[in-house]
Amino acid sequence: MIRETKRERVVRTMTDPVLDHLHELKAIEADPNAKELDVERWCQSMLRGCLGFSATNGYAIHSQEAKGRHRPDLVILKGDRPVCVVEIKKLGFDLNKSALRSGKVQLNEYLRQIGTVNWGILCNGYDWRLYDFSDPSRSGVNVVSVNLQDEQGGIDLSKRHVEDICWDLVDLHESMLASGGWNEFAREATAFSPESLARAVLSVETVKYVARIIRGEHDYRANPEVLFDKLHHLLESGLSLLVTDWNEVKQAELNKYISSQKKARRKKSEQAGRTDRADAQPETARGAADQDNTPIKVITNKVS
């Protein structure tokens, strides 16, 4: 048998507790008297029970009893060292709200006060966002975003949806922090920032490639300077302004397509990894397994 990857193992161990917490979130959602404190307690339980920030793994989560300025809702510590602060908002709060001291602004203030922490999590129950504050000039880069709702804005408790959520949540798991995965996400977010992507799209090499594609599809030799201007205008204006019949339905269809392609690529990558590991097994081990028909034992370590 093929040894499962670390990510597969984490997803497998997360499935049942994530399902339990989605049931709890649905109950909070249905309670007209639910308060922000209820969401905070639920998030703290998610961090411990689903995302691995538990005492078993050497973590402690401190809740700030006295709320006020420069007091984050939750602080995650590894031993005695704070590694991440968490700001909790009421269920469904708009995390994009730009009002003074709202959301990311608060996280930035808390982290500046602590002085030794780069990571902050912003959560409204449904949305979980991980920010990197290591570069003071950028005031926080969103490196991971996970939404627990389905496409209709509800909480889907089906096995397939829960598994998909776990594959997303694994990026927030403590094992990714411990292995340097969060740092890698931060580098990726910087490389894929709008400014970086715009420069890449408008580079000479990219414009030449686009010109070749256009010539092949339309038998038209594009003027490079005109093509530069057209691509620049496309980036500045976006589909919603340039396509006259662009609407929320088409945007949702595009988002759904992109999401399906990403999930298909991820699963294909995992399958390819399993195949590569199988091919890399020593011939002697394979021969012995084939000879006595005894499968090779799978060794797994449960993630708390």
How many angstroms separate the CA atoms of 261 and 50, rounded?
Answer: 26
Q: Averaged over 45-68, what is the pLDDT?
A: 89
Predicted pLDDT at 98: 58
Res 133: pLDDT: 92
Confidence band (pLDDT; 50, 70, 90) for 259?
confident
pLDDT-derived band at 114 (thresholds 50, 70, 90) equals: confident
Q: Running DSSP on this structure, what letter comes out for residue 69?
A: T
Report field, pTM of the whole predicted structure over 0.85: no
CA distance 132 to 178: 15
Distance CA 53, CA 55 (A): 7
Cα distances (Å, whole numbers) of residue 293 to 1, 224, 279: 11, 64, 18
118/43 Cα distance (integer angstroms): 20
CA distance 53 to 179: 14
pLDDT in tens, 147-195: 999 989 999 999 999 999 999 999 999 999 999 999 999 999 989 888 8
Highest-scoring range by mean pLDDT, 214-223, 253-262, 288-297? 214-223
- Distance CA(219)–CA(202), nearest Å, equals 22
The first and second tokens of residue 211, run together, are 């010109």
- Domains of the chain, with CATH numbers? 7-191 (3.90.1570), 193-245 (no CATH)
Nearest to 122 by CA among 100, 150, 102: 102
pLDDT at 288: 40
| pLDDT tens for each residue of 202-231 | 898 999 999 999 999 999 999 988 998 888
